[in-house]
Amino acid sequence: MIRKTLAASLFIVTAIGLADAALAAEPLAERYVDATDWPAHEAGIDRFANAEARLVGSFDRICGDTFCEGEFANLRPMELRCSVDVTKSTLKQCVWTFSGSSSSVNKKTGAVTTNARLFKCKLMLAKNTPVEAFYEMVDGEDALNAKLPMSRHSVYDSINSCL
Amino acid sequence: MRCTILATALSVLPAACFAQAAGNMAPRYVDAIDWPTKEAGLEKFALAEHMLSLSFDRFCGDAFCEGPYPNLRPMQLSCSVDTSNGTMKRCLWIFAGSDTSVDASSGAVRSSARVYTCNLRLAPNTPVEVFYETMYDGELLGKRLPMTRRTLYDSLVGCLP
């Protein structure tokens, strides 16, 4: 009886130990996350929103004399989204979405014709750009024209080849 | 011979005059910003568009922005006016929305975006002035369009997601 109880106890202890090991082997987090979820879940929301607002502000200031002189006078930023490689704390990709529209009236029929487009612009980030370096650059004086960290291209260059 | 030349001249001149008059004739339909005269409606129309956008923004979170595009936003309002009787012919309201996400295994940013063009369901022959009077109201979206039983909101339902 004692022998049986000891064997059962040993089995249970071993099973618990194996389960713990299996849990420890499970990946703790995903490799890539939204920048708003870096360094922890939702911990980057404010910082990222501030960066996006600064870029949008810069875009709005130059739009009238640059991109908005083209086919779409009302071109506007819709959304900026970046992914972060959590193993290196670097940016993987940033996409800035824009929309623009134009319209005209047919003088004979009164029909209103519209033309609208969406643009998805990838920021020309250098490989393995540290997230911190990106935020520092955006916090600088001229977020749109400053060179992206470790890159010869600016955010302006990135959208200029896209819009 | 002289009679023939005179007759030809007489037939050509009225035709030329008529063609020139037709070229100078004001177009039947114009952009609302150009009514009653060129660019004379700019401010009035811009204010109407602004009020509409504000009303949409107040409404958005509990209605259309709960759909696939939380950042749905008005892009442009464009209307035509029938200059022969000072009424609205057509109004289109353009919206854009986008949604992006991060692929957790590749790090790629996936983006989906769409543009919507919504027709305001105006009553035929809605006078321009009556249209503008409606637009200056605070809660526009729930308000009926002049001479109809439909609200502005009704024009967006079925158009926006």
In this prediction, residue A20 has a pLDDT band, given cuts at 50, 70 and 90, of very low
pLDDT for residue A71 is more than 70:
yes
Residue window 64-123, chain B: list those with CB within 8 Å of chain A. Answer: 71, 73, 75-76, 78-82, 89-92, 94, 96-109, 111, 113-115, 117
Q: Which two tokens stand for residue A133?
A: 């370096």
Structure confidence at residue B25 as a pLDDT band (50, 70, 90) = confident
Residue from the list B80, B104, B113 with its beta carbon closest to the beta carbon of A78: B113
A77, B4, B114 from B101: Cα distances, Å: 17, 81, 15
Residues B91 and B78 sit within 8 Å (Cβ to Cβ): yes
Closest by CA position to A100, among listed A69, A67, A63, A74? A74
> What is the model's pLDDT at position A24?
45
d(CA B142, nearest CA chain A) in Å: 24
Which pLDDT belongs to residue B24?
61
| 3-state class (DSSP) for residue B107 | coil
User: A103 to chain B, minimum CA–CA distance in Å?
Assistant: 7
* Stated length of chain B: 161
Indicate the range of A77-91, A108-122, B23-37 predicted with least confidence: B23-37
Percent with pLDDT over 90 in chain B: 69
For the cut 50, the answer to whether the pLDDT of residue A1 exceeds it is no
- Rounded to the nearest integer, the mean pLDDT of chain B is 87
CA atoms within 13 A on the CB side of B47: 11
Q: Give how far B71 is from chain A: nearest CA, Å.
A: 8
Task: Give the C-alpha separation, B142 to B150, whole Å.
Answer: 9
| Closest CB from A78, A105, A106 relative to B96 | A78
CB A18 within 8 Å of CB A9? no
ipTM of model over 0.85: no
pLDDT for position B2: 52
Q: What is the pLDDT of residue A4?
A: 53
Does residue A7 carry a pLDDT above 70? no
pLDDT digits (tens, 9 = 90+) for B69-127: 999 999 999 999 999 999 999 999 999 999 999 999 999 999 999 999 999 999 999 99
Provide the pLDDT confidence category of residue B131 given band limits of 50, 70 and 90: very high
Mean pLDDT across chain A, nearest whole number? 87
CA nearest neighbour of B119 among B96, B140, B95: B95
How high is the pLDDT of residue B3? 47
Domain ranges of chain A: 29-160
User: DSSP of A85-126, one letter per residue?
Assistant: ETTTTEEEEEEEEEEEEEEEE-TTT--EEEEEEEEEEE--PP
* Torsion on CA atoms A143, A147, A151, A157, rounded to nearest 10: 80
Cα of A8 vs its chain's centroid, Å: 53
A6 band by pLDDT with thresholds 50, 70 and 90 = very low
Pairing of strands A76-85, A90-105: antiparallel
Candidate from A33, A97, A106 with C-beta closest to B102: A33
Tell me which amino acid residue B6 is.
L
* pLDDT value for B63: 84
How far is residue B14 from each of residues B19, B25, B26, B27, B110, measured CA to CA in Å? 9, 16, 20, 22, 66
Residues 6+ away with beta carbon under 8 Å from A47: A135
3-state class (DSSP) for residue A67: helix
Question: Residue A22: in which H helix or E strand, if any?
Answer: helix A2-25
pLDDT at A45 over 90: yes
**Smallest Cα–Cα separation from B102: which of A76, A148, A95?**
A95
